[in-house]
Structure 1
């Protein structure tokens, strides 16, 4: 079966694949962040990304993309529930590769194109018009915020990393069946806002799309991607969404280590460890964001929300570092099985471990450098003048810690 075996070993290549010693990679990454912070602290005195991107009214929904998304979705669901064993394997592989990883490069290249591709949004528009309720029957509860999306993302990574048999066709059937029912029902009841806040993959794409250097709100406009990050809509649960994305990737790497594998942990043990990783990532960020002086209690509580968008480059860097070879190679296998053709995937990347190791370091360190720049710019806007530098020190320490742990988990386990 496509997903049989150690499903967590997505990031091919380890410490021995690096063209430079592992300690040098970690020390170099930490110094790169420190030097970046030192330079911008003295040369970057005014916020540059506060002014919103003005592109006018964005184009409407592209129905032809919705048609493509609907056809692909129908093909995968049909293969999963009605197809041959090979096509079922392909559907499972598609679920773990294309559905989970591809939204990141797709969002970077084309913005939040997922909302046009989504068959669930398309179905909601048709049903809403037919029932005379295009905005749904009920108002989406504001207290929920992004929490349903965070729960959905956690449910996905739990199935992949903690469930007894993540590669079983029956497991994926239950997950995708439940996802289809909840997503479509939520869209019909609450309207389009359900997808903006509760659909895990829609929200995932929307978060990453804020870093796209090419597209803003369906319109082609090359720009500095850091200008788009502050436009990420803030709501309850957004920090939890980012914490799940970062924490689960870290746990995925840790779970693939020999030390963890020989423990032969139970489903409960893996679940507890996954929750701990997510909580540590989220709580560490909240504490670092609030660690500044010169602000009131109410302002301090708002700081994590003001800075959460700065973690998006780290999410993108980790996804590329951890899942690149998995998407390219396992993704080929999934498509071959779905189409039931006789072909062999190319393993060009895996055959070049030095390149893979170098890319890992570049993605992780590059993502953190962009995060430092975004955090510094935001601090200039939100922190009191007397604390604009000292108020960033805790976040800088956290970024270095994230870098160290990211490289350690990806390259030495």
Structure 2
């Protein structure tokens, strides 16, 4: 960027930022509320109000403004400070092995409880400890802790613990572990993630404890078997759950080093610092994580109900299968097109695959923002039910208490989604300056990714703002 070009870009960027922020503020003040979606367990939570047109228009506008603001910060010193800032805690000794054993035992005990109460506990989902542990305590609450604090899943993972124990007992006799087939790459985890979310959608796993227990047992047999045969490589490459937590853990402020020590830094620094380029299979998994978060909210909306009605005689499970696969291909195709366009706008000899793999970690904050927006009200609303049922799991209350989130919570949901996108833009900005030289070439490489991010933002916030099935249209 030349000296002459710099001031002009700065003035235009500042003016654009001021006008867009003013538009967003005015929208917040004058817009009328419409219904927005909030996740629930068997319909235990209701939709919350949020301004509809603000969701679509200013959501994309804020992402554009964030890029303009980040474009002002193009010196290596500031970007490196973002990556390096933090506090380093040295290698921890003493109580850590004991704590690790405690975490492992806790994970195995939780798995046993889920299966036992799923098979033999109360038949009502909201009064069943196994159901509440899976959806409220683990997939909602524990996942939030993973990207907001740090990733403890490698210690808690019960399938990893059981697999290691069985491998230690029989591995030498059976000649285990074996090398993971490189030809498979990470594609099994992509298919597994899409399959798990599709199964969640078409099966009553949140309402039928026995169905949930059956799925958990089947998944446990497959995962423990893979861990016994292939060791930790199974969790690095093939297990979708472990890979989701690993990606979310890179977003967290607390990171664990190779020496066992901990470091505390700004959220997203772990993604910005990662120097490896993801392969095509890993890029596909990151995009799948982003898509399934959106699809999980889409399937309970009125527009998706109309799609299922229009499918006519086709069974709902087939329509949902086509929907999740088709939507994923659209998301993946959009990202690949952005990578191809970024290679042209950056005017580089770096391959399209390299560009796609280099910027893919920047999508993780978007998925985390959607997850937080979708599940925070879920956890808050169902936390009293979880506590009450855990206190008396064999004779739980007939109607556990459920909190209703306040009306202003819809705005909070939107804020989480937008914050996730803002952090995504900043991570992409830092990674662009690590890959390309100068000041203008990195910015040019980001143009297509900002465009596709705005598209993701507007589409997903549109989903958030839709009335749920049985709700009131906005």
Name the TM-score class by shorter chain: 0.7 to 0.9
Rounded Cα–Cα distance in structure 2 between residues aligned with 1:135 and 1:299: 41
- Indicate the residue corresponding to 2:228 in structure 1: 188
Q: Which residue of 2 aligns with 1:278?
A: 328
Which residues in structure 2 correspond to 1:144-223 (within 5 Å)? Answer: 144-163=184-203, 167-217=207-257, 219-223=261-265
Distance in 2, Cα, partners of 1:224 & 1:282: 29
Deviation track 1:260-291 (CA, whole Å, cap 9, x = no partner) reads 22444521111111112222222212221231
Counterparts of 2:333 and 2:91, CA distance in 1: 38
Offset at residue 9 of structure 1 (A): 6.7
Q: Does the residue aligned with 1:210 lie in a helix, a strand or coil?
A: helix
Q: Secondary structure at the match of 2:324?
A: helix
Residues 90 and 269 from structure 1, CA distance in 2 versus in 1: closer, same or farther, beyond 3 angstroms? same
Q: Specify which of 36, 54, 66 is matched with residue 36 of structure 1.
A: 66
Number of residues paired by the alignment? Answer: 402
Taking the TM superposition and a 5 Å limit, the aligned residue runs for 1:240-279 are 240-262=284-306, 263-264=308-309, 266-279=316-329
Q: Deviations over 1:338-396 (max 9, x none)?
A: 62354565544x34021x11111110110000000011111112235453222211111
TM-score in terms of structure 2 length = 0.76
How far residue 169 of structure 1 moved from its aligned partner, in angstroms, is 4.0
Deviation at 1:57, TM superposition (A): 6.2
The correspondence of residues 5-404 of structure 1 with structure 2, limited to 5 A, is 12-14=46-48, 17-18=49-50, 21-46=51-76, 47-48=79-80, 62-86=100-124, 89-131=128-170, 133=172, 136-163=176-203, 167-217=207-257, 219-230=261-272, 231=274, 234-262=278-306, 263-264=308-309, 266-292=316-342, 293=344, 294-296=347-349, 299-330=351-382, 332-333=384-385, 336-337=388-389, 339-343=393-397, 345-348=400-403, 350-354=404-408, 356-383=409-436, 385=438, 387-404=441-458
Which has the greater radius of gyration?
2
Going from structure 1 to structure 2, the CA distance change for 1:288 and 1:36 (only over 3 Å counts) comes to same
Matched residue SS, 2:47: coil
**Deviating more after overlay: 313-322 vs 169-178:** 169-178
How far the C-alpha of 1:412 sits from its partner, in A, is 3.1
Q: Kindly tell me: are residues 363 and 402 of structure 1, through their superposed partners in 2, closer, same or farther at Cα, counting changes over 3 Å?
A: same
* 1:331 positional shift: 5.5
Instruction: Classify the secondary structure of the residue corresponding to 1:215.
Output: strand
Residues of 2 paired with 1:146 and 1:316: CA distance? 21
CA spacing shift, 1:321–1:8, aligned 2, 3 Å: farther
Which blocks of at least 5 consecutive residues in structure 1 are unaligned? none
Q: CA deviation at 1:51?
A: 6.7
TM-score, normalising length: structure 1: 0.86
Q: How far apart are the structure 1 equivalents of 2:138 and 2:239?
A: 13
Does the C-alpha gap of structure 1 residues 58 and 291 become closer, same or farther in structure 2, counting only changes over 3 Å?
farther
Q: Distance in 2 between matches of 1:312 and 1:362?
A: 17
Call closer, same or farther: CA 1:145–1:278 in 2, change over 3 Å: same
RMSD: 3.2
Equivalent-residue separation in structure 2 for 1:6 and 1:102 (angstroms): 13
Q: Which structure is richer in relative contact order (CA contacts within 8 A, separation 6 or more)? A: 1
User: Is contact 1:210-1:228 (8 Å) kept?
Assistant: yes
Which range is displaced more, 196-205 or 300-309?
A: 196-205
SS state at 2:459 partner = helix
Cα deviation per residue 1:86-144 (whole Å; 9 max; x = unaligned)? 58844234333433223422213542201101122222222232235599421112232
CA contact under 8 A between 1:244 and 1:278: conserved in structure 2? yes
**CA distance in 2 between partners of 1:374 and 1:408 (Å):** 24
Are the aligned partners of 1:148 and 1:198 in contact in 2 as well (CA < 8 Å)? yes
